[in-house]
Amino acid sequence: MKKTVISLTAVFAAALLYVSCSNDDNKNITTSDYTTIGASTAIDAANEMDVNTGLSVTTSNPATKPAETPVGACSTITVSGTTYPRVYTVDFGTTGCVDGNLTRKGKLEITLTGPVTTTGSKMTIKRIDYSINNLKLEGTIEYTNTTTVATVPQWTRKVTGGKLTDTQGRVYTNSGTYTTKQTAGVDTPYVLSDNVYEVPEGSHTVIAGDGTTLTLTVQETLIKKYSCLFISKGKVKIQGGILNGVIDYGNNDCDSKYTYTHENGSSVELSL
């Protein structure tokens, strides 16, 4: 098996792909194809990041007052209402502020119909003039509690009207639904840092500006730690255009690396 090493250099910073070398196995796969794979992965990372923000902002001990809701690293948070539904506005400002190593601008409007830990409750995240490192993100994320067994909390994450516009003006629309189960941290509902989630099923579709459509379907359960921005383990089947292969997120390390293996056995190593 021949392997090409590719650095998807800071998708969040520039959304540019650098191909370090090529080989005969991959000669029909273009830089644009790899960029679309990278955009798909960046979209998923952004969705996870925004859900994490929603959970952080809306999760608090019921004994505290709404004004004591945990505040993000650099945003201004306002809360409308003392009873449900509550609307939380997370404002990163028009010039942006640094959250970790990323600069976020604009607002997230988060509507919560009830405690996110209660079956039937829904958290809706709406993006308003919002960007991460100048990647413009649009659309709505619905995070609905569908728990049937109390010891295994479960949610459905649905993205509608998703749209990513990169720094070169390239547009990627997206939508999809995932099932998420919490497998660690259940006994500490007001502490998020020890939470671990599994995504056993789901798919999403990404459409590039040239009409290329990618469908990404969970093939092997994905592992997502709240404390890590990226998916750390699991596999996703990716199909569309000339792409037909698998994305492998690795061995549960908290890093941005992943591998795409094409149906012919050739693979490329990428990182966000």
Whether 217 is covered by a domain: the verdict is yes
Whether 52 is covered by a domain: the verdict is yes
Whether 243 is covered by a domain: the verdict is no
What's the structural domain count of the chain?
1
Global confidence as pTM: 0.84
CA 31 from chain centre, in angstroms, equals 23
CA distances from 132 to 42, 96, 182 (A): 10, 9, 26
Average pLDDT over residues 193-204: 94
Whether 252 is covered by a domain: the verdict is no
pLDDT tens-place string over residues 29-86? 666 677 888 888 889 889 999 999 999 998 865 444 443 344 445 889 999 988 999 9
Q: Is the pLDDT of residue 133 over 80?
A: yes
Kindly indicate the confidence band of residue 101, based on its pLDDT and cuts at 50, 70 and 90: confident
Whether 261 is covered by a domain: the verdict is no
Whether 152 is covered by a domain: the verdict is yes
Distance CA(196)–CA(181), nearest Å, equals 9
Tell me which residue range forms the domain holding 109: 17-61+72-232
Whether 258 is covered by a domain: the verdict is no
Whether 40 is covered by a domain: the verdict is yes
Task: State the pLDDT at residue 20.
Answer: 34
Kindly indicate the confidence band of residue 120, based on its pLDDT and cuts at 50, 70 and 90: very high
